[in-house]
Amino acid sequence: MTQHETRDPSALHTPVLLERCIELLAPAIERAADSGRDPVVVDATLGMGGHSEAMLSAFPALTVVGLDRDTEALELAGMRLARFGERAVRVHAVYDEIAEAVRAAGFPRIDGVLFDLGVSSLQLDAADRGFAYAQDAPLDMRMDQSRGETAAEVLATAPEGRLRAIFERYGEEPLAARYARAIVAARAEAPIERSAQLVDVLQQATPAAVRDQRHPAKRVFQALRIEVNGELAVLERAIPAALGLLRVGGRAVVMSYQSLEDRLVKRELTQRSRSTAPPGLPVELPEHRPEFRLLTRGAELASEAERSRNPRAIPVRLRAAERVRDAR
């Protein structure tokens, strides 16, 4: 019996805003089924398959194409979704590769797409992955451990200016310059290869008054994770690609867990939901009408009950939109 065969994916992960995601995607799925087509939804961040399992259970004609860059997550999701047979298609891919993955699966367009962004429960809970500053582990932080530069390699090779920029841009860290200097000084003495080493460097570089207010490692670890995985650059490509795949009536649901992601998602959905008619035009021509309409008023939050039940729902921001006009 392998390690994964002894692990129950449903026990490892509680999906965030599960019922709300199903509620938002349901009209698009039902519309496809009513028209005589078998509906297709892409779970762009499959993880351990909790959202996909719920969708496949609720809609017997549905096919879900699940993408994930983490091979361990794909394996665990495969166990969870095995009973759905060919209706659950798993693809090892980063979500900006969504168009290629959908075409390879044999679908020209899709009826829905779901993004559950950020680091997964599997990655956070696996101490040896180096994502959590509260657990000592090798500083890896790659979501796909088969490729790319590790966090330790970034810390070892990046010039001080680049480290400062990473912490400022991706962590919005006010002490970015101080931390970058401290890391460069510390690595001259010994390589920073484990999370406990990095936390110690950051603690020593943090004024006592700041240490009393917040953990100094939180924003730096977030920034390193985003840098290692290219998360914002990938998301900036992925959202337009996913929207482009949706049929008229198709819906996109996106859950973000930090402000940088949410701002990017908000900008893209808002722009696509506005008229492109030049100011002063007396009549809006069809080609200027919005391609999408927003389904949420601002960003929706998890309820107090869900936050209490599932602490990982505390920072979530959900946005959704429906395609109302085909741009083609």
DSSP state letter for 59: -
Looking at the structure, tell me whether residues 117 and 175 fall in a common domain: no
What's the pLDDT tens digit per position in 138-192? 999 998 887 889 999 999 999 999 999 999 999 999 999 999 999 999 999 999 9
Instruction: Pull the structure tokens for residue 220.
Output: 């730096």
Looking at the structure, tell me whether residues 205 and 236 fall in a common domain: no
Q: With contact defined as beta carbons under 8 Å apart, do 114 and 28 qualify?
A: no
Looking at the structure, tell me whether residues 180 and 284 fall in a common domain: no
The dihedral through the CA atoms of 294, 298, 301, 303 has a sign that is negative
3-class secondary structure, 46: coil
For residue 156, report the phi and psi dihedrals to the nearest 5 degrees.
-80, -30
Task: Tell me how many domains the chain contains.
Answer: 2
In the prediction, which pLDDT does 1 show?
A: 36
**Interatomic CA distance for residues 311 and 289, integer angstroms:** 40
Looking at the structure, tell me whether residues 219 and 235 fall in a common domain: no
Cα distances (angstroms) measured from residue 203 to each of 44, 83, 219, 257:
36, 48, 13, 25
DSSP state letter for 278: P
Asked if residue 32 is part of any domain, the answer here is yes
Give residue 249's domain range: 4-122+231-323
What's the pLDDT tens digit per position in 219-253? 999 999 999 999 999 999 999 999 999 999 999 99
Q: With contact defined as beta carbons under 8 Å apart, do 175 and 206 qualify?
A: yes
Query: For 85-89, which contacts have Cβ atoms below 8 Å and span 24 or more sequence positions?
Result: 87/56, 87/62, 87/63, 88/49, 88/52, 88/56, 88/63, 88/64, 89/63, 89/64, 89/65
**Interatomic CA distance for residues 102 and 93, integer angstroms:** 11
Asked if residue 194 is part of any domain, the answer here is yes
Asked if residue 14 is part of any domain, the answer here is yes
**Interatomic CA distance for residues 176 and 188, integer angstroms:** 19
Beta partners for residue 65, in sequence order: 42, 89
**Interatomic CA distance for residues 121 and 13, integer angstroms:** 6
Looking at the structure, tell me whether residues 185 and 110 fall in a common domain: no
Asked if residue 303 is part of any domain, the answer here is yes
Q: Which of residues 181, 212, 229 is at a domain's end?
A: 229
- Alpha carbon 294 to its chain centroid, in Å, reads 20
Looking at the structure, tell me whether residues 195 and 184 fall in a common domain: yes
Which amino acid makes up residue 72? E
In the prediction, which pLDDT does 13 show?
A: 63
Could you tell me the CATH number of the domain that includes residue 211?
1.10.150.170
Looking at the structure, tell me whether residues 105 and 243 fall in a common domain: yes
- Which residues contribute to the annotated binding site? 49-51, 68, 95, 116, 123
In the prediction, which pLDDT does 8 show?
A: 56
Residues in the chain: 328
Asked if residue 64 is part of any domain, the answer here is yes
Looking at the structure, tell me whether residues 27 and 144 fall in a common domain: no
Radius of gyration over every alpha carbon of the chain, rounded to an integer in angstroms? 21
Looking at the structure, tell me whether residues 242 and 106 fall in a common domain: yes
Instruction: Pull the structure tokens for residue 260.
Output: 């940088």
Strands (E), the chain: 40-43, 63-68, 88-92, 110-116, 246-256, 292-294, 317-323
In the prediction, which pLDDT does 327 show?
A: 77
Asked if residue 16 is part of any domain, the answer here is yes
Nearest Cα residue to 119 out of 130, 110, 111: 130
3-class secondary structure, 262: helix
Looking at the structure, tell me whether residues 9 and 108 fall in a common domain: yes
**pTM attached to this predicted model:** 0.88
Asked if residue 328 is part of any domain, the answer here is no
Looking at the structure, tell me whether residues 116 and 235 fall in a common domain: yes
Edge-first strand listing for the sheet containing 40-43: 88-92, 63-68, 40-43, 110-116, 246-256, 317-323, 292-294
- Which residues contribute to the annotated binding site for S-adenosyl-L-methionine? 49-51, 68, 95, 116, 123
Instruction: Pull the structure tokens for residue 238.
Output: 């992925």
Could you tell me the CATH number of the domain that includes residue 258?
3.40.50.150
pLDDT beneath 50, residues of the chain = 1-6
Q: Which of residues 183, 208, 229 is at a domain's end?
A: 229
Looking at the structure, tell me whether residues 10 and 99 fall in a common domain: yes
**Interatomic CA distance for residues 265 and 300, integer angstroms:** 13
Q: Which of residues 205, 229, 253 is at a domain's end?
A: 229
- Alpha carbon 297 to its chain centroid, in Å, reads 21
